[in-house]
Amino acid sequence: MAFILIAVLLLLMIAAAIYAVVQKDLLYAVIATGIISLVLSILFYLLQAPDVALTEAAIGVALTTIIFVITIRNTERMEDEPQNDNNIKSEVK
Amino acid sequence: MKKILVILLLAVVGFYIAGTFFDIGFGNSHFVKNDAIKPVKDTYLQQTVQELKVSNTVTSIVVNFRGFDTLGEVTVLFLSVTALGSILYKKRHHVGERSVLFSASSIVTSGSKLLFPAIVLLGTYVFIHGHLSPGGGFQGGVIIATGFLLMLLAYENYSVSHTSLAIVESLAGVTFAGVGLLGYMNGGTFLQNFLPAGTLNDLFSGGVIPIIYIAVGFKVAAELTGVIYTVLNEKGENHG
Amino acid sequence: MDNMFYQYLDYAIYSSAVLVILIGLYGALVKRSLLKIVIGLSIMEAGVNLLFVAVGYLKNGTAPIFSAKGIEMAENGIKMVDPVPQALVLTAIVIGFGVTAVALSLVIRLWRHHHTLYIDEIKNLKW
């Protein structure tokens, strides 16, 4: 019973990590990072470490996500390649 | 081409790291083959109950046995908050311009008005009872900062004065260093326990450990509230 | 039923923690947007903390707290989990948050100056 729970949590963590690195919309990537911290907090509790679980749940989920979201608000949201490049290639028509 | 090279390099690195940890084994009780060497955790677990009379072993390690590392960590946190404030400094400081443009709906405002005292009370409980149950200064301080974040996001004109935050933070830091210097009385060392130990599972047990953790709790709460307030006062050019 | 699968738990937790570290490192090495690099750094720190706490686990152990029930369990011969890695990881989580905060403030400052977060562009633009 405990083994099935731990296996599902580990698979969720790996899937969220891959999603956070690959996704181009940065707001979704930040929420995936919050999901990683949440699953990590549950795993710390199952490994008999309650102090570490409290700290990771408070810092990783709440504070890191809010700082990332305010940074995204003040910069750009999509991770795009720039449309125009300043090389010589564009001047040769 | 570059991505394939990176994946190959990461595979080699991961193979050797995982190989080291598979050799150690998971859940083994002996790392050393020689039975005459006593591991460090046995000494800590025994001394926590018999000499210090503190229930939470992690608290006694963080504050008493490895207390100097906690002083370094508090210093690093203070430095990072100072660096954040000085990097985001603007010459014409617009007072009153916030990233939150309007108040939230009435459900959120009335709910956060009710929840805020409960969250602050929970955080204070967690860092006062740090030596009796899981918790401590860092956990309680972060919970209080989360309560302030809730109020700052719900109301558009809620403000926390920077001067009072700075005063609380400086006083708490001075208390920590001062208690450490008081350990030099009676010929002891820095951060030595000079108050009597008391009985197990009591609120006033463990000597200086509750005093240090309460100071750390106030300091972390004031610092993180300052960080959130600084970052929320950034006025961006685009609304992304 | 639990004892049958415990031999696979060794490989499961260690390899997932190492895999998360490698995914974060890949994101920090290959991606071109500055914010994606900082996200990769944050994911790498989560993996390292999990690896540390998993080293200190003891099979059928209990949390290292001496409450009334804890003293009773210690007298019955149930061992306690290693508390030293937990104290180290507590410090590491807080310092990781400090590093992320300073990195993001640098990102905001760079955006104010260059109006782009693409590191190839920042190399090309002149002062």
Q: Where are the domains of chain C?
A: 2-124
Chain A interface includes C73 (CB < 8 A): no
Read off the pLDDT band of B190 (50, 70, 90): confident
The complex scores an ipTM of: 0.88
Residue B236 has a pLDDT of 61
Number of domains in chain B: 1
Render pLDDT for B26-54 as a digit per residue (tens, 0 to 9): 877 666 666 777 788 888 988 888 888 88
Whether residues C43 and A50 touch (CB distance < 8 A) is answered with no
Q: Is residue B85 a part of any domain in this protein?
A: yes
Residue B157 has a pLDDT of 82
Could you give the CA distance from residue B22 to residue C30 in angstroms, rounded to a whole number? Answer: 29
Amino acid identity, position C43: I
Q: Is residue B76 a part of any domain in this protein?
A: yes
**Residue B39: DSSP 8-state:** P
Closest to B122 (Cα-Cα) out of B107, B139, B105, B98: B139
pTM (predicted TM-score): 0.89
Question: What are the phi and psi torsion angles at A21 (to 5°)?
Answer: -85, -30
Q: Chain A window 34-63: which residues touch C at a Cβ cutoff of 8 Å?
A: 36-37, 40, 43-44, 47-52, 55-56, 59-60, 63
Q: Is residue B38 a part of any domain in this protein?
A: yes
Domain range C2-124, its CATH number among 3.40.50.2300, 3.30.365.10, 1.10.287.3510, 3.30.750.210? 1.10.287.3510
Residue B187 has a pLDDT of 75
Structure tokens at B216: 């750390």
- Domain boundaries, given as residue ranges, for chain A: 9-78
pLDDT for B156 beyond 90: no
Q: Is residue B183 a part of any domain in this protein?
A: yes
Closest to C59 (Cα-Cα) out of C76, C81, C77: C81
- CB contacts of A77 in chain B (<8 Å) are 240
Angle at CA of residue B33, ends B30 and B36, nearest 5°: 90
Residues whose CB is less than 8 angstroms from the CB of residue B16 and which lie 6 or more positions away in sequence, other chains included: none
Read off the pLDDT band of C124 (50, 70, 90): low
Residue C9 has a pLDDT of 67
Residue B100 has a pLDDT of 65
Read off the pLDDT band of C1 (50, 70, 90): very low
Q: Is the separation of the CB atoms in A33 and A19 below 8 Å?
A: no
Structure tokens at B163: 């001067």
Q: Is residue B24 a part of any domain in this protein?
A: yes
Q: Between residues B121 and B189, which one has the greater pLDDT?
A: B121
The whole-number average pLDDT for the span B203-227 is 90
> Among the listed ranges A2-6, A27-31, C87-91, which one has the minimum average pLDDT value?
A2-6
Q: Which chains touch C (3 or more CB pairs under 8 A)?
A: A, B
- By CB atoms closer than 10 A (0-12, 13-18, 19+), residue C17 is buried
Residues whose CB is less than 8 angstroms from the CB of residue A57 and which lie 6 or more positions away in sequence, other chains included: A37, A38, A41
Helix pair B137-154, B209-232: axis angle to 10 deg? 30
Q: Is the separation of the CB atoms in B225 and B148 below 8 Å?
A: yes
- CB contacts of B231 in chain A (<8 Å) are 67, 70-71
pLDDT for B240 beyond 50: no
> Among the listed ranges A45-54, B60-69, C110-119, which one has the minimum average pLDDT value?
C110-119
Residue C38 has a pLDDT of 95
Read off the pLDDT band of B238 (50, 70, 90): low
Option in B139, B231, B240 nearest A55 (CB): B139
Q: Is the separation of the CB atoms in A33 and A63 below 8 Å?
A: no
Whether residues A6 and C35 touch (CB distance < 8 A) is answered with no
Render pLDDT for C55-106 as a digit per residue (tens, 0 to 9): 888 888 888 988 888 888 888 888 888 899 999 999 999 999 999 999 999 9
Residue C6 has a pLDDT of 63
Closest to A33 (Cα-Cα) out of C36, C53, B80, B145: C36
The CA distance from A93 to the nearest CA of chain C, in Å, is 22
Closest to C22 (Cα-Cα) out of B11, A64, B23: B11
Neighbours of B105 (CB within 10 A): 10
Render pLDDT for A37-93 as a digit per residue (tens, 0 to 9): 999 999 999 999 999 999 999 999 999 999 999 999 888 888 877 665 555 554 454
Closest to A3 (Cα-Cα) out of B22, C6, C60: C6
Residue C113 has a pLDDT of 85
Chain A interface includes C86 (CB < 8 A): yes
